[in-house]
Amino acid sequence: MIKIAYIGKTNQTNSFICDTIQSNYSAVITFHKPNDLFENPEMLDDSSLDLAIFDLNSSYGIGNAPKSIQKINQYLITSPLLVMYPSSFNYITPLIEAGAHGVIPNTPTETEIIKAIDNLLSGNKYYSEPE
């Protein structure tokens, strides 16, 4: 059973991603609203996590994306961080430099979600370039 922290607001895309994860893995997914998490970072218990997913698109208004990634990584000592970027992003280099272990668009295909998660859970990185 893998344990995933999903950082973002619930929406239709996030529901699709969670359904994809549930269909392909034995997983427990816990949602965290970004503002709540940044106010109480201890909510992110890295010792029990296998993966964290950070949805930049549904986290609008929390500030600079690379700084937010760095802040989350302060609490993710062993768990990889998969970042979902909005389609308006033309580059992912700042996200990678900030510490994202994986980067996918916020509207990924089922295949891309599985590839990214499989890579991260195997200790590898996964980056999907913007179109």
What DSSP letter does each residue of 73-111 carry, written as one string? HTT-SSS-EEEEEPTT----HHHHHTT-SEEEESS--HH
pLDDT level of residue 10 (50, 70, 90 thresholds): confident
Question: pLDDT tens across 74-130, in order?
Answer: 888 789 999 998 766 667 888 999 999 999 988 889 999 999 999 999 999 999 866
Tokens for 7, please give them. 């950082």
Segment 40-59, tens digit of pLDDT:
877 777 778 999 999 987 76
Closest CA to 33 of 3, 63, 12, 54: 54
**Does the CA dihedral 13-35-103-130 come out positive or negative?**
positive
Closest to 69 in 3D by CA, of 92, 49, 90:
92
Instruction: Give me the CATH number covering residue 74.
Output: 3.40.50.2300
Domains of the chain: total: 1
pTM: 0.90
Which pLDDT band holds residue 36 (cuts at 50, 70, 90)?
confident
Domain that holds residue 41: 2-127
Report pLDDT for 131: 58
